[in-house]
Amino acid sequence: MSFKSLLTDPSNRLSSWKGENCCDWKGIKCSSSGHVVVVNLRNPHPNEVMINVNKEVVSDSNESDFALKGTISPLLFTLDHIQYLDLSFNNFMFSKLPVEISNLTKLTYLNLSNSMFQDSITTQFSNLTSLRSLDLSCANLVPDLSSITISLTLPPKLDSGSLLSFISYGYLSSTNLRNENVLTSAIPDILSNLTTLSVIDFSSNDLDGHISYLPQLEKLFVSSNPALTIDLVSMFSVPWSKLTSLDISFTRVGGTVPPSLSNSTSLTIFLADGCSIEGSIPPSITKLKKLRILMLNDNAIAGQLPVSMSGLTSLQYLSLFQNRLQGNIPISICQIPSLEYLNLNWNDLTGRLPSCILQLPKLSYLYVQKNNLNGDIPLSLFRKSRLDQISFGVS
């Protein structure tokens, strides 16, 4: 009960914490032997939070605050049978993370995201050898990626299970930190040691360096890191056979989309907006039979759209606006039955808009303005009931 006495509980979430049988308390689960194995104190109604340059918590939400506030008692970390601990979206700004957390050697899941612990984490995690998932998504927990190799010792078994397994301190989404670019310095090479890591999200930070080769990786999100260098030719000179989602938008890419990209046949999402990519789209891209979303907007891609794109039979979303594409829109694009969204605005395309586009059964959005297209617009295009938006402009 001393744990409860150190906290302010504006929503009375801890009202059931009375009596001697803690297994009956809300947020607590026990094993058949009566040991506490789950402590879930996650704020059920988190406000959207961001941290300003002075590391002050800022929230513009008008909703009632459900966050627990105050100091975390070290007694919590004497429950050495805990396997699942979630303290996320609370306000423990008067607490430092107790060093006793290293006693929880059976812990498999730990979520401290947006919990606002005071100062940076300096705790060693090497004792947490059962840990499979750790979320530290908050700027004042790990303010600089370089500290991860100094202050944290990684457990060997870490893998997927949350958005970013052990390294999910890098998961700084617009929903909780609003792209405040709070993580700086180079991506640590220690990533390459996490051989079971399947998801990485370092989006919207200020990171540099390069991405280590992780052949088991399934999802990689590093968009909006303008100093991060990605060499696609080098990256795809080795197989990424499990990679399904790749977002490198607004990073330092340059160069071309290499034909070897097509060797990543599990790829379903490829996003590379604003990367200064040059050259043409390789015809071998047709090998990506599972590709559903392809976005290469705001680059310097030239040449013609490959006729072979008809082989992208799973493609639903194709967006190539503001490039330097030339030539005709190939009729073969009409052979992508799953296509729902097509944006070719702001290119140098010529010729007629293929009338067969009208036959695409799922097409709802069509954008071809600011090109050099000619000929009449088929009237039947405006009778196509499924089209929600059409944009021709000056074409």
pLDDT tens digit sequence for 314-338: 999 999 999 999 999 999 999 999 9
Q: Within the chain, how many helices (H) and strands (E) appear?
A: 3, 24
Average pLDDT of the segment spanning 130-148: 56
CB-based contact 23:29 (threshold 8 Å)? yes
Q: What is the three-class DSSP state of 374?
A: coil
Q: What is the dihedral of CA 51, 57, 58, 63, to 10 degrees?
A: 130
The residue among 6 and 153 whose pLDDT is bigger is 6
- What residues have CB less than 8 Å from 211, skipping those under 6 apart? 187, 191, 220, 222, 228, 230, 235
For residue 5, give the nearest of 73, 67, 77, 86 by alpha carbon.
73
Average pLDDT of the segment spanning 82-106: 86
User: Residues of 255-264 as b/e, b for ≥16 C-beta within 10 angstroms?
Assistant: ebbbebbbbb
Domain 226-394 has CATH 3.30.470.20: no
Q: How many CB atoms lie within 10 A of CB 64?
A: 10
The residue among 305 and 97 whose pLDDT is bigger is 305
pLDDT of the residue at 74: 85
Which range scores top for mean pLDDT: 125-129, 162-166, 272-276?
A: 272-276
pLDDT of the residue at 71: 87
Structure tokens that stand for 95 in this block: 């607490």
CB-based contact 358:382 (threshold 8 Å)? no
Residue ranges matching CATH 3.80.10.10 in the chain? 1-145+169-205, 226-394
Q: What is the dihedral of CA 69, 75, 77, 82, to 10 degrees?
A: -100
Tell which CATH classification among 2.30.40.10, 3.80.10.10, 3.65.10.10, 3.40.50.620 matches the domain 1-145+169-205: 3.80.10.10
CA separation for the pair 292, 270 (Å, rounded): 9
CA separation for the pair 183, 145 (Å, rounded): 6
Compute the half-sphere exposure of residue 225: CA atoms within 13 Å on the CB side of its CA. Answer: 29
Average pLDDT in the chain: 80
Amino acid at residue number 326: Q
